[in-house]
Amino acid sequence: MNQMPSPVELTTSLTTQLSAAIMARPVSNDDLTAAALFTLDAVANIVAGRNSVQGRKLLAWQNSMSNGAGHPVDRARLSFLYGSLCHILEVDDLHRASVVHPGCIVVPAVFAMGAGSNGKAALTAILRGFEACCRVGMSVGPEHYKIWHNTATCGPFGSAMAVASLLELDAAACVNALGNAGSQSAGLWQFLDTGAETKHLHAGRGAEAGLVAATLAEHGFTGAPEILEGERGFYRATCPNPDETLLLPADSDPWQLHQTSIKPWPSCRHTHPAIECGLTLHRQLPDGIPIRAVRVFAYQAALDLCDRVEADTAYAGKFSLQHCVATALLEGAVLFENFEAEARGEARDLRSRTTVSVVDQFQSAYPRHWGSRIEVELEDGSMISHEVTDARGDPELPLSHNDMVAKARGLLVHGRHPDPDDLIDCILAMPQSADVPDLSGLMADRQNGTQ
């Protein structure tokens, strides 16, 4: 019987190099402050996600799984619940170059594992978790994203790295954590064809898988060190054109958390550049002249996911360029209520007169920049247009500190948190080592899904 190799001996594997590079990176006060704001955004999404159809289903499920005790029975299940809730409203963060939503994977794992622990250590873990899943996401190549949901497949590397940091695992145990996390990578886009709720499951399982992998590694449970590049590994199985050169950070690179975008509108991030254009054009529309036609120009990935004239459900509307643009033009705002049945009906006519297509200008810039242009043809034959290279909330056009706090407060109010300002203050104090807030008390099942 052949002896299995020890991960400690395989020091040249990509996961060994990745974890070592991440753990060696310095963390500044500015990094911690930024991480606190991104953490606040994710936590607000978790709380707000409870007040939704899917959130109420998840809370009822976890209540049944805990025999009516009203709370998850273990931290792995709690991580799953937090991650699933965080991704429901489609207003969580997005890292463009990797097409990963890191916050809904990493923050749930840290808050499930580290409630009551040192806030500075937790934020450092979150920085490291963002780095791992974004780096893996950048390396998988564009073909991966056509079939696989990068948040689900690359996310477990992030949650594993974050929990490994929180547990202060040694180098060998970190490799074990990443090895076992990578073997749990999964998540397919097929749910889009029917509007199934599977996408929330992707975030929950991604958060849970990494937590399980790291806590097993703490007990010496081994994982494949060459899970990325091995002959039967992640790249070979799921990536027709991986680029390993994007996996490891250079000394001059910023933490990838600083390269992550914050969503101002509750829809797929691929719709946001077009929404930005639509909102600008709404302010330019002349009174009394109807819109004849709308043309949206974008990049291929946006069309692959969001070319959808019909919006039969709120979720379909969030993945419809046509609906989001029509709403922006008609209403001058894109809010939660703009995806409900009445609003979808009001936008139906303009949706039907909205076309979408790919142009090289935006295709060649993707994924480093997500741009769009809209042309609006009016009934008198005149035309107005607007284009953006990046969208509001991108690193090039970041939301201000006050904007992010206001967004979080709005989400917490939507989720009926009993004291939004107290939770905001607790999270923003984490860079000064304030304890990680415990969210588990909010997860009890209620008739309306909230406290």
Residue identified by tokens 């590397």 is 157
* pLDDT (tens digit per residue) in 420-436: 999 999 999 999 999 99
The pLDDT assigned to 6 comes to: 40
For the beta carbon of residue 289, count every other beta carbon within 10 angstroms: 12
At which of 344, 364, 388 does a domain end?
A: 388
Q: Is the pTM above the cut of 0.85?
A: yes
The answer on 320 and 203 residing in a single domain is no
Domain annotation covers residue 376: yes
Print the domain residue range for 426.
14-264+398-443
Band of residue 65 on the pLDDT scale cut at 50, 70, 90: confident
402 and 333 assigned to the same domain: no
Mean pLDDT of 396-423: 96
Please tell me the predicted confidence (pLDDT) of residue 66: 81
For tokens 């304030």, the residue is: 434
| CB-count burial class (<10 Å; 0-12, 13-18, 19+) for 171 | middle
C-beta neighbour count of 274 within 10 angstroms: 32
- Whether 30 is in a domain gets the answer yes
* Inside any domain, residue 343: yes
pLDDT of residue 193: 87
CA separation for the pair 128, 20 (Å, rounded): 11
Please count the residues of the chain. Answer: 451
Helices 103-114 and 29-49 pack at an angle, to 10 degrees, of: 90
First to last CA, the chain: 57
- CATH code for the domain in which residue 157 is found: 1.10.4100.10
In terms of Cβ atoms closer than 10 Å to its own Cβ (0-12, 13-18, 19+), residue 433 is: middle
The per-residue pLDDT of the chain, averaged, comes to 94
Q: Is the pLDDT of residue 89 over 80?
A: yes
41 and 146 part of one domain = yes
Are the CB atoms for 347 and 326 separated by under 8 Å? Answer: yes
Cβ atoms of 292 and 316 closer than 8 Å: no
Residue of 134, 371, 187 whose CA lies nearest to 275: 371
User: CA 385, CA 352: separation in Å to the nearest integer?
Assistant: 19
The CA-atom distances, in angstroms, between 241 and each of 141, 144, 252, 366 are 5, 8, 26, 16
For residue 7, what pLDDT is reported? 39
Categorize the per-residue pLDDT at 194 as very low, low, confident or very high, splitting at 50, 70 and 90: confident
pLDDT digits (tens, 9 = 90+) for 323-332: 999 999 999 9
The CATH number that applies at residue 315 is: 3.30.1330.120
Are residues 79 and 193 both part of a single domain?
yes
356-383 mean pLDDT: 96
8 belongs to a structural domain: no
Q: Are 25 and 256 in contact (CB under 8 A)?
A: no
Residue 72: band (very low, low, confident or very high) from pLDDT cuts 50, 70, 90: low
C-alpha 215/C-alpha 229 separation (Å) is 24
CB-count burial class (<10 Å; 0-12, 13-18, 19+) for 367? middle
Residues in CB range of 213: below 8 A, 6 or more apart:
156, 160, 163, 176, 177, 178, 179, 180, 181, 184, 223
| Tokens 């909010």 belong to residue | 442
Q: Could you tell me if 220 and 324 lie in one domain?
A: no
Quick one: CA dihedral 216, 220, 223, 226, positive or negative?
positive
Same-domain pairing of 196 and 118: yes
Q: Does some domain include residue 448?
A: no
Number of domains, the chain? 2
pLDDT tens profile 9-41: 445 899 999 999 999 999 999 999 999 999 999
Distance CA 317, CA 313 (A): 6
pLDDT in the model for residue 315: 87
C-beta of residue 324 within 8 angstroms of C-beta of residue 356: no
Spatial distance between the Cα atoms of 283 and 276, rounded to a whole number of angstroms: 12
The answer as to whether 449 is a domain residue is: no
Q: What are phi and psi of 222, to 5 degrees?
A: -85, 150
User: In terms of domains, do 310 and 367 share one?
Assistant: yes
Two tokens, residue 428: 């923003």
Same domain? For 416 and 374 the reply is: no
The proportion of the chain whose per-residue pLDDT surpasses 70, expressed as a percent, equals: 95
In the chain, the largest separation of any two C-alpha atoms, in whole Å, equals 82
Grouping H, G, I as helix, E, B as strand and the rest as coil, residue 196 is: coil
Encode 129-145: b = buried (16+ Cβ within 10 Å), e = exposed: bbbbbbbbbbbbbeebb
Give every CB contact of residue 88 below 8 A, 6+ residues apart in sequence. 45, 49, 52, 54, 55, 200
Which domain-ending residue is among 365, 388, 411? 388
In the chain, % of residues over pLDDT 90: 90
pLDDT value at 266 more than 60: yes
Q: Where are the alpha helices (DSSP H) in 71-221?
A: 75-86, 103-114, 119-139, 144-147, 150-166, 171-182, 198-218
pLDDT in tens, 207-244: 999 999 999 999 999 999 999 999 999 999 999 999 99
Of the candidates 268, 272, 203, which has an alpha carbon nearest to the alpha carbon of residue 54? 203
Residue 411 has a pLDDT of 97
pLDDT value at residue 445? 56
> Which has the closest alpha carbon to 162: 134, 192, 193?
134
The yes-or-no verdict on residue 64 having pLDDT over 70 is yes
344 and 376 housed in the same domain: yes
Whether 203 and 322 map to the same domain: the answer is: no
378 and 412 part of one domain: no
DSSP 8-state class, residue 39:
H
Q: Is residue 382 part of a domain?
A: yes
281 band by pLDDT with thresholds 50, 70 and 90 = very high
pLDDT of residue 449: 44
Based on the domain organization, do 316 and 419 belong to the same domain?
Answer: no
The per-residue pLDDT for range 93-147, each reduced to its tens digit, is 999 999 999 999 999 999 999 999 999 999 999 999 999 999 999 999 999 999 9
